[in-house]
């Protein structure tokens, strides 16, 4: 999906669910890592994380656009655009927007080392190596052993 298609989608969703036009810019921002989107209070533009678009149904993307449009329309109407306000929660529920962005797969792809306790069998997933002489299991204080080292491709 291009930025122009995203802009058109945001304008259509704004008219359909909020009955108000979206008069600013919406665009993809690939620098967003942990958030689905962002509404800028100063210029009223909306950034969307391109990883939130699944490509077929756009369900997640539409939920995030509705969420950001709730911030947009509340702020322009003179209300607080914060997540914890009553107006925001009511508007988000009324339009069916998503409260949280789903987790992307980048987090699980970064796990490189899997350690297991020899006494209780608890597994630890880590990005960095652990000094097995210095650290023990947090549950039973048993010794840890490296079970699996996952190789990363082109990270």
Q: Which residues are catalytic?
A: 68
Contact, 115 vs 144, CB < 8 A? yes
CA gap 10, 153 in Å, rounded:
36
Q: Which backbone phi and psi does 133 adopt, to 5 degrees? A: -80, -35
CA gap 152, 21 in Å, rounded:
45
CA gap 38, 10 in Å, rounded:
13
């Amino acid at each position: 999906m291009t930025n122009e298609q995203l802009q058109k989608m945001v304008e259509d969703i704004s008219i359909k669910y909020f009955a108000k036009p979206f008069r600013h810019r919406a665009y993809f921002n690939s620098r967003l890592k942990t958030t689905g989107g962002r509404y800028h209070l100063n210029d009223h533009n909306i950034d969307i994380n391109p990883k939130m678009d699944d490509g077929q149904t756009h369900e997640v993307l539409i939920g995030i656009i509705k969420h950001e449009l709730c911030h947009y329309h509340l702020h322009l109407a003179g209300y607080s655009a914060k997540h914890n306000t009553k107006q925001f929660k009511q508007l988000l529920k009324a339009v069916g927007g998503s409260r949280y962005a789903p987790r992307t797969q980048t987090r699980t792809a970064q796990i490189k080392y899997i350690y297991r306790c020899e006494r209780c069998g608890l597994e630890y997933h880590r990005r960095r190596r652990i000094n097995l002489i210095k650290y023990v299991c947090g549950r039973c204080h048993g010794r840890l052993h490296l079970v699996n080292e996952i190789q990363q491709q082109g990270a």
